[in-house]
Amino acid sequence: MTTRLTLSIDAMGGDNAPDMVIDGVEAAAKQNPELRFLLFGDETRLNEMLQSHPAALASSVVRHAPDVIGSGDKPAVALRGGRQSSMRLAINAVGDGEADAVISAGNTGALMAIAKFVLKTLPGIDRPAIATFFPTMRSQSVMLDLGANIECDANNLMQFAVMGEVFARNVLNCEHPSVGILNVGAENLKGNKEVRDAAEMLQQTHLPIHFHGFVEGDDIAKGTVDVIVTDGFTGNIALKTAEGMASMFGFFLRSALTSSIFGKIGALIARPALLKFKAKFDPRLYNGAMFVGLNGICVKSHGGTDGFGFANAIGVAVNLVRNNFNEGIKEDCAQLLEDRDAAILAAGEGDTDNSEAAAG
Amino acid sequence: MTTRLTLSIDAMGGDNAPDMVIDGVEAAAKQNPELRFLLFGDETRLNEMLQSHPAALASSVVRHAPDVIGSGDKPAVALRGGRQSSMRLAINAVGDGEADAVISAGNTGALMAIAKFVLKTLPGIDRPAIATFFPTMRSQSVMLDLGANIECDANNLMQFAVMGEVFARNVLNCEHPSVGILNVGAENLKGNKEVRDAAEMLQQTHLPIHFHGFVEGDDIAKGTVDVIVTDGFTGNIALKTAEGMASMFGFFLRSALTSSIFGKIGALIARPALLKFKAKFDPRLYNGAMFVGLNGICVKSHGGTDGFGFANAIGVAVNLVRNNFNEGIKEDCAQLLEDRDAAILAAGEGDTDNSEAAAG
């Protein structure tokens, strides 16, 4: 028996909202008839659209939200001014315990700022991160942070590692996920102070984390580790570089196969194989970035996706709720806080021992 | 009439040295009979090998170097202890004016440390950078830094922009190259202080640089700009992420086409088109990372390449020498230094005007 989940939907966020959102809800409702949706947005428009989406209609309740946060709105402005927006009200539903998770395809910065304000961070987590999973040559990996935190210290990176590990274990079903920190080389001395300190913390933690060590950019696609930890600046650039490469590859493959008659004939015969290959890199399959470290499940869909992609983002949220993702983080963070207290205590004792040396 | 160039070769650097190095010299010598090579390494071995490489034999002089710098040696150790190494003696030849450029497939960190020590940086350049060019959907771009400088300030990034622009103009033959700074978003407020300050400097410079603004990771493959400027940490990770994606794409394409009989038949018919496609991503074609900002041309070949790849790295060095790359940088840096003096002067005047306010 599965519990009935309630998902709060920002129906107005995204390039083609609310159309693609309602298409996504329709697809998700067909696939999981036990889901229940709270749709926040323009009441009249949404009710009208639901008439042609029977599965969504049967499982949704529409809640009117007079405002919409624009894709160009600054997070601080959206936080202050957007109290009646579809995004804010959708997040509030999770904060109030009315819904189990929120999904939005709207402005990422605003979504993070409002989610952080309304839901707060989990105990032991200083800053939430954005995580996503993607295909590798081995299977799938999760990477975080992807842009929520431009600058990160070693503690932040350590917390990302803990959250990523829980994710890989509970959602990707890896039994003993391996964790790597993204760096410019595998040797201990490589990189900046932040990554070196975080590596030391991961080596010393009492948590049963399998820390692989540093990994390099090419290890992402290789699938060398299950969890890739990095700051939001580097993570965002690595992810988008990878997306760009996938587009370029597709572009040159198409042009190679269409530039000669033999290429065209060969492609026609190999069509099922090529379509299977293409599907593997369909970005809609990997749609749904998770805001991790919040006291509530929040999933960000790509703004430019379609109904199929939005349904996938809903699926990600369902997975996180079903697998008790946040409970797992809470448990591990309790140990992390104990570790930290012990370190502070140990440092305090060290200080006393060396007080004269330090003063001299 | 082309001047006869002399290239200094570290014959012992790289995984398969000296074999692949001599293969590379042979290929380059055949293609450019006017090149002259100074080969540094184990005299007996090199002379023996040259017997089976007639073009290399005809254009090379062997210089004995008793030592070799290992791939795991630390830069500082290599600098102090490697005075009789093939790498050091090869760089010395450029420092002494005996050779026009040096090419090595050895330890990157050691090569940069020794090259910096022997050749010194160009006036106006605080830190040399590693640059490479790569294919885009539009044509080719150059990106720097790729790992020489883990942390960079706005001045460093500005200098990278100047060097990259000269490179795109003189070597890639772009008439008005566009320059972008790699960031997590295109808006002015995005990113860290370093990239924002560098962007402001590029907007205000008197140099005729076409500054596009910020670019994101996916703009690398799109070819949105001709020159991509970034710090060595981010650049290294972006480049290796891209390399990893290319491998993954090839891997999945092969497995898709070999997993069914129709895939196999189609691939056979489309073979010439697929081979053309594969060649486009041959990393050997893009072999040869340039150490820019040094008072001498230094090119780093990939350690694991073969003779074809090493010959390409030689070609990169020849291109840099022929196109007066360093003269171009010197001219632009003179303007950069003038800009900086003017800014210091202006700031000084500003200080005087506001001295009371500042004191209060």
How many residue pairs from chains A and B have C-beta atoms closer than 8 A? 206
Per the CB < 8 Å rule, is A248 touching B280? no
* B1-120+294-323 and B126-286 have identical folds: yes
| Local structure of A67: helix, strand or coil | strand
Q: H/E element holding A167?
A: helix A154-170
Secondary structure (3-state) at A248: helix
Q: Does B233 touch chain A (CB under 8 A)?
A: yes
Residue B299 has pLDDT above 50, yes or no: yes
Q: Which residue among A244, A260, A274 sits closest to B219, beta carbon to beta carbon?
A: A244
Instruction: Inform me whether the pLDDT recorded for B324 exceeds 90.
Output: no
| Mean pLDDT computed over A23-33 | 96
Spacing of C-alpha A212 from chain mean position: 22
Architecture of domain B1-120+294-323: 3-Layer(aba) Sandwich (3.40)
Q: How many other β-carbons are positioned within 10 Å of the β-carbon of residue B155?
A: 17
Convert the pLDDT of each residue in A35-63 to its tens digit: 999 999 999 999 999 999 999 999 999 99
pLDDT for the residue B2 = 54
Give the class (CATH, top level) of B126-286: alpha beta
What local confidence, expressed as pLDDT, does residue B354 receive?
43
CA dist B237 and A182 (Å) reads 8
- A348: how many CB neighbours lie within 10 A of its CB? 10
Interchain pair B184, A274: CB under 8 A: no
The share of chain B scoring above pLDDT 70, in percent, equals 96
Q: What is the pLDDT of residue A359?
A: 37
CA distance A141 to chain B (A): 14
> Looking at the complex, does the CB of residue B219 fall below 8 Å from at least one CB of chain A?
yes
* Residue in B240, B245, B270 nearest the CB of A267: B270
Distance from CA of B190 to the nearest CA of A (A): 9
A248 vs B137: CB contact, 8 Å cut-off? yes
Question: CA-CA-CA-CA torsion for B31, B36, B40, B41, nearest 10 degrees?
Answer: 50
Give the per-residue pLDDT at B278. 86
B262:A242 CB<8 A: no
User: Which residues of chain B lie closer than 8 angstroms to A216, CB-CB?
Assistant: 236-237, 240
With contacts defined as CB-CB under 8 Å, which chain B residues touch A256? Answer: 273-274, 276-277, 280
| Predicted complex ipTM exceeds 0.85 | yes
Tokens of B73: 């040696």
Say yes or no for a CB contact (<8 Å) between A237 and B237.
yes
pLDDT at A337: 76
Q: What is the DSSP string of A187-229?
A: STT-S-HHHHHHHHHHHH-SS--EEEEEE-HHHHHHT--SEEE
* Minimal C-alpha gap between B150 and chain A (Å): 7
Q: Which residues of B touch A112 (CB under 8 A)?
A: none
Mutation choice for A interface testing from B112, B241, B243, B247 by most A CBs within 10 A: B241
Task: Please tell me which of the candidates B192, B241, B266 has its beta carbon nearest to residue A220.
Answer: B241
Per-residue confidence (pLDDT) for residue B4, from 0 to 100: 85
Given a cut of 90, whether residue B186 has pLDDT beyond it is: no
Cβ–Cβ gap B260/A277 under 8 Å? no
As a whole number, mean pLDDT of residues B303-331 equals 91
- Does the CB of B235 have a partner CB in chain A at under 8 Å? no
* Residue of chain A minimizing CA distance to B244: A218
Min Cα–Cα distance to chain A from B351, Å: 31
A222 inside 8 A of chain B by CB: yes
Closest-CA distance of chain A to residue B269, Å: 5
Interatomic CA distance for residues A344 and A338, integer angstroms: 10
Domain residue ranges in chain B: 1-120+294-323, 126-286
The rounded distance, in Å, linking the Cα atoms of B87 and A315 is 56
Contact B270/A at CB under 8 A: yes
What DSSP element (H or E) covers B118?
Answer: helix B108-119
Element (H, E) at B292: strand B289-292
Per DSSP, the residues of B35-92 read -EEEEEE-HHHHHHHHTT-HHHHHHEEEEE--B---TT--HHHHHHH-TTBHHHHHHH
Instruction: Give me the architecture of the A125-286 domain, per CATH.
Output: 3-Layer(aba) Sandwich (3.40)
Please indicate whether, in this complex, the C-beta atoms of A265 and B262 are within 8 angstroms of each other: no
Q: Does B121 touch chain A (CB under 8 A)?
A: no
CA distance to partner chain A, nearest, from residue B139 (Å): 11
A246 and B242 within 8 Å at the Cβ level: the answer is no
Of B221, B241, B263, which has the smallest distance from its Cβ to A217's Cβ? Answer: B241
User: pLDDT tens digits, residue range A65-115?
Assistant: 999 999 889 999 999 999 999 999 999 999 999 999 999 999 999 999 999
Where does the pLDDT of residue A349 fall: very low under 50, low under 70, confident under 90, or very high at 90 and above?
Answer: low
For A354, other C-beta atoms within 10 Å of its C-beta total: 11
The B residues from 122 to 141 touching A (CB cutoff 8 Å) are 135-137
Mean pLDDT for the stretch of residues A238-247: 93
pLDDT of A202 higher than 70: yes
Mean model confidence pLDDT for chain B: 90
Mutation target to probe the A interface, by most A beta carbons within 10 A, among B130, B248, B253 is B248
The residues, any chain, with a CB within 8 Å of residue B336's CB and separated by 6 or more, are B124, B158, B159, B162, B205, B207
| Residues of A (143-182) whose Cβ lies below 8 Å from B | 147, 150-151, 182
For A31, the 3-state DSSP assignment is helix
User: Where residue B5 falls among pLDDT bands split at 50, 70, 90?
Assistant: very high
Mean pLDDT of the A29-38 span: 95
pLDDT tens for each residue of A117-149: 999 999 889 999 999 988 899 989 999 999 999
Provide the pLDDT for residue A360: 32
